[in-house]
Protein backbone atom coordinates (compact mmCIF):
# COMPACT_ATOMS: atom_id res chain seq x y z
CA UNK A 1 0.00 0.00 0.00
CA UNK A 2 1.33 3.45 -0.91
CA UNK A 3 2.19 6.14 1.63
CA UNK A 4 -0.62 8.27 0.24
CA UNK A 5 -3.20 5.52 0.57
CA UNK A 6 -2.03 4.80 4.11
CA UNK A 7 -2.19 8.33 5.47
CA UNK A 8 -4.90 10.09 3.48
CA UNK A 9 -8.43 9.48 4.67
CA UNK A 10 -11.46 10.34 2.56
CA UNK A 11 -14.21 12.55 3.93
CA UNK A 12 -16.91 15.06 3.14
CA UNK A 13 -14.51 17.86 2.17
CA UNK A 14 -11.86 15.72 0.50
CA UNK A 15 -12.68 16.85 -3.06
CA UNK A 16 -12.94 20.45 -1.86
CA UNK A 17 -9.44 20.29 -0.42
CA UNK A 18 -8.08 18.73 -3.61
CA UNK A 19 -9.64 21.42 -5.80
CA UNK A 20 -8.16 24.19 -3.66
CA UNK A 21 -4.74 22.54 -3.61
CA UNK A 22 -4.77 22.09 -7.38
CA UNK A 23 -5.46 25.80 -7.88
CA UNK A 24 -2.70 26.92 -5.50
CA UNK A 25 -0.08 24.43 -6.74
CA UNK A 26 -0.67 25.47 -10.34
CA UNK A 27 -0.40 29.17 -9.46
CA UNK A 28 2.51 29.11 -7.00
CA UNK A 29 4.37 25.85 -7.62
CA UNK A 30 5.12 23.27 -4.98
CA UNK A 31 7.61 25.30 -2.96
CA UNK A 32 5.59 28.52 -3.15
CA UNK A 33 2.30 26.89 -2.17
CA UNK A 34 1.50 27.44 1.51
CA UNK A 35 -0.87 25.39 3.61
CA UNK A 36 -2.56 28.64 4.66
CA UNK A 37 -3.29 29.56 1.04
CA UNK A 38 -4.52 26.07 0.20
CA UNK A 39 -6.87 26.04 3.17
CA UNK A 40 -8.17 29.52 2.28
CA UNK A 41 -8.79 28.70 -1.39
CA UNK A 42 -10.37 25.36 -0.47
CA UNK A 43 -12.62 27.06 2.08
CA UNK A 44 -11.60 24.80 4.95
CA UNK A 45 -9.67 25.20 8.18
CA UNK A 46 -6.03 24.17 8.46
CA UNK A 47 -7.12 21.52 10.95
CA UNK A 48 -9.48 20.04 8.37
CA UNK A 49 -6.76 20.10 5.71
CA UNK A 50 -4.27 18.39 8.00
CA UNK A 51 -6.84 15.75 8.92
CA UNK A 52 -6.78 14.67 5.28
CA UNK A 53 -3.16 15.43 4.40
CA UNK A 54 -0.62 15.63 7.24
CA UNK A 55 2.13 16.37 4.70
CA UNK A 56 2.12 18.83 1.77
CA UNK A 57 3.96 16.26 -0.32
CA UNK A 58 1.07 13.83 0.08
CA UNK A 59 -1.35 16.51 -1.01
CA UNK A 60 0.62 17.29 -4.15
CA UNK A 61 0.96 13.60 -4.99
CA UNK A 62 -2.80 13.15 -4.59
CA UNK A 63 -3.54 16.14 -6.84
CA UNK A 64 -1.20 14.89 -9.57
CA UNK A 65 -2.31 11.26 -9.46
CA UNK A 66 -6.00 12.17 -9.40
CA UNK A 67 -5.61 14.27 -12.54
CA UNK A 68 -3.78 11.45 -14.32
CA UNK A 69 -6.46 8.96 -13.29
CA UNK A 70 -9.13 11.26 -14.68
CA UNK A 71 -7.28 11.35 -18.01
CA UNK A 72 -7.08 7.55 -18.10
CA UNK A 73 -10.78 7.22 -17.28
CA UNK A 74 -11.81 9.76 -19.94
CA UNK A 75 -9.72 7.96 -22.54
CA UNK A 76 -11.15 4.54 -21.68
CA UNK A 77 -14.69 5.92 -21.79
CA UNK A 78 -14.11 7.21 -25.31
CA UNK A 79 -12.48 4.08 -26.73
CA UNK A 80 -14.64 1.56 -28.54
CA UNK A 81 -13.14 -1.84 -27.78
CA UNK A 82 -14.12 -3.32 -31.15
CA UNK A 83 -12.84 -0.39 -33.20
CA UNK A 84 -9.75 -0.82 -35.37
CA UNK A 85 -6.25 0.34 -34.36
CA UNK A 86 -6.44 3.63 -36.23
CA UNK A 87 -9.65 4.68 -34.48
CA UNK A 88 -8.45 3.56 -31.03
CA UNK A 89 -5.05 5.21 -31.37
CA UNK A 90 -6.59 8.43 -32.71
CA UNK A 91 -8.77 8.55 -29.61
CA UNK A 92 -5.82 7.87 -27.31
CA UNK A 93 -3.56 10.42 -28.98
CA UNK A 94 -6.43 12.89 -29.03
CA UNK A 95 -6.42 12.75 -25.23
CA UNK A 96 -2.66 12.43 -24.67
CA UNK A 97 -1.47 15.38 -26.78
CA UNK A 98 -3.80 18.03 -25.26
CA UNK A 99 -3.02 16.72 -21.77
CA UNK A 100 0.73 17.00 -22.35
CA UNK A 101 0.24 20.58 -23.52
CA UNK A 102 -2.11 21.55 -20.68
CA UNK A 103 -1.07 24.07 -18.03
CA UNK A 104 -1.56 21.37 -15.42
CA UNK A 105 0.79 18.82 -17.01
CA UNK A 106 3.40 21.47 -17.78
CA UNK A 107 3.36 22.82 -14.23
CA UNK A 108 3.49 19.38 -12.61
CA UNK A 109 6.41 18.40 -14.85
CA UNK A 110 8.31 21.52 -13.81
CA UNK A 111 7.50 21.01 -10.13
CA UNK A 112 8.70 17.40 -10.22
CA UNK A 113 11.88 18.47 -11.98
CA UNK A 114 12.56 21.34 -9.58
CA UNK A 115 11.98 19.18 -6.51
CA UNK A 116 13.64 16.00 -7.80
CA UNK A 117 16.71 16.26 -5.57
CA UNK A 118 14.92 17.03 -2.30
CA UNK A 119 11.69 15.09 -2.84
CA UNK A 120 12.26 12.39 -5.47
CA UNK A 121 9.04 10.67 -4.36
CA UNK A 122 7.06 13.46 -6.05
CA UNK A 123 8.46 12.57 -9.44
CA UNK A 124 8.11 8.85 -8.80
CA UNK A 125 4.47 9.24 -7.84
CA UNK A 126 3.64 11.36 -10.90
CA UNK A 127 5.52 8.97 -13.17
CA UNK A 128 3.62 5.99 -11.76
CA UNK A 129 0.22 7.67 -12.12
CA UNK A 130 0.95 9.32 -15.47
CA UNK A 131 3.51 7.88 -17.91
CA UNK A 132 3.71 4.41 -16.37
CA UNK A 133 -0.06 4.04 -16.00
CA UNK A 134 -0.61 5.31 -19.53
CA UNK A 135 1.97 2.89 -20.89
CA UNK A 136 0.29 -0.04 -19.15
CA UNK A 137 -3.10 0.92 -20.61
CA UNK A 138 -1.60 1.11 -24.10
CA UNK A 139 0.19 -2.20 -23.58
CA UNK A 140 -3.08 -3.89 -22.66
CA UNK A 141 -4.78 -2.62 -25.80
CA UNK A 142 -1.83 -3.40 -28.07
CA UNK A 143 -1.51 -6.93 -26.71
CA UNK A 144 -5.18 -7.57 -27.52
CA UNK A 145 -4.77 -6.04 -30.97
CA UNK A 146 -1.77 -8.28 -31.65
CA UNK A 147 -3.79 -11.36 -30.67
CA UNK A 148 -6.56 -10.27 -33.05
CA UNK A 149 -4.02 -9.88 -35.84
CA UNK A 150 -4.56 -6.12 -36.10
CA UNK A 151 -1.05 -5.09 -35.08
CA UNK A 152 2.31 -6.81 -35.46
CA UNK A 153 4.44 -6.01 -32.39
CA UNK A 154 7.20 -8.04 -30.75
CA UNK A 155 7.76 -5.73 -27.76
CA UNK A 156 4.49 -4.08 -26.71
CA UNK A 157 6.17 -2.20 -23.84
CA UNK A 158 8.58 -0.50 -26.21
CA UNK A 159 5.81 0.13 -28.76
CA UNK A 160 3.60 1.77 -26.12
CA UNK A 161 6.47 4.01 -25.05
CA UNK A 162 7.20 4.90 -28.68
CA UNK A 163 3.59 5.89 -29.25
CA UNK A 164 3.66 8.27 -26.28
CA UNK A 165 6.90 9.79 -27.52
CA UNK A 166 5.34 10.34 -30.95
CA UNK A 167 2.61 12.33 -29.18
CA UNK A 168 5.33 14.68 -27.88
CA UNK A 169 6.60 15.63 -31.33
CA UNK A 170 7.10 19.35 -32.04
CA UNK A 171 4.60 20.97 -29.69
CA UNK A 172 5.50 19.42 -26.31
CA UNK A 173 9.14 20.45 -26.60
CA UNK A 174 8.16 24.03 -27.41
CA UNK A 175 5.75 24.07 -24.47
CA UNK A 176 8.10 22.61 -21.87
CA UNK A 177 10.88 25.06 -22.75
CA UNK A 178 8.46 27.99 -22.60
CA UNK A 179 8.80 28.82 -26.29
CA UNK A 180 5.03 28.92 -26.70
CA UNK A 181 2.08 28.79 -24.32
CA UNK A 182 -0.82 28.16 -26.70
CA UNK A 183 -1.36 26.02 -29.78
CA UNK A 184 -3.98 26.05 -32.52
CA UNK A 185 -6.34 23.12 -32.81
CA UNK A 186 -5.06 22.26 -36.27
CA UNK A 187 -1.50 22.01 -34.91
CA UNK A 188 -2.64 19.60 -32.22
CA UNK A 189 -4.63 17.55 -34.73
CA UNK A 190 -1.58 17.31 -37.00
CA UNK A 191 0.55 15.86 -34.19
CA UNK A 192 -2.24 13.42 -33.26
CA UNK A 193 -2.72 12.27 -36.85
CA UNK A 194 0.98 11.91 -37.62
CA UNK A 195 1.66 10.05 -34.37
CA UNK A 196 -0.95 7.46 -35.34
CA UNK A 197 0.12 7.21 -38.98
CA UNK A 198 3.80 6.87 -38.07
CA UNK A 199 3.00 4.19 -35.49
CA UNK A 200 0.84 2.21 -37.92
CA UNK A 201 3.48 2.49 -40.63
CA UNK A 202 5.79 0.56 -38.28
CA UNK A 203 3.37 -1.80 -36.53
CA UNK A 204 0.24 -1.91 -38.65
CA UNK A 205 -0.79 -5.05 -40.52
State the average pLDDT over residues 135-145.
90
Is residue 149 pLDDT above 90, yes or no?
yes
Is residue 72 pLDDT above 60, yes or no?
yes
State the average pLDDT over residues 23-30.
85
Is residue 163 pLDDT above 50, yes or no?
yes
pLDDT at 8: 57
The angle at the Cα of 128, spanning 144 to 183, to the nearest 5 degrees, equals 85
pTM for this one? 0.79
In the predicted model, what is the mean pLDDT of the chain?
A: 87
Is residue 4 pLDDT above 50, yes or no?
no
pLDDT at 94: 93
Is residue 188 pLDDT above 60, yes or no?
yes
Percent of the chain with pLDDT strictly greater than 90: 48
Percent of the chain with pLDDT strictly greater than 70: 92
pLDDT at 3: 46
Domain boundaries, the chain: 3-203
pLDDT at 26: 82
As assigned by CATH, the class of the 3-203 domain is: mainly alpha
> Among 55-69, 85-99, 169-183, which is the least confidently predicted range?
55-69
> Among 8-17, 54-63, 139-148, which is the least confidently predicted range?
8-17
> Among 30-39, 113-122, 167-176, which is the least confidently predicted range?
113-122
State the average pLDDT over residues 151-179.
95
Amino acid sequence: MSETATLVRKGRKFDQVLAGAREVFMADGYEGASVDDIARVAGVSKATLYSYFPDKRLLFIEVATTECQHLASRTLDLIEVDAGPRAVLMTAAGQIVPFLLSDFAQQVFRICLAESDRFPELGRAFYAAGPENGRRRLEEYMSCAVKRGELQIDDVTLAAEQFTELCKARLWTQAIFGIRRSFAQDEVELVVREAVETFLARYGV
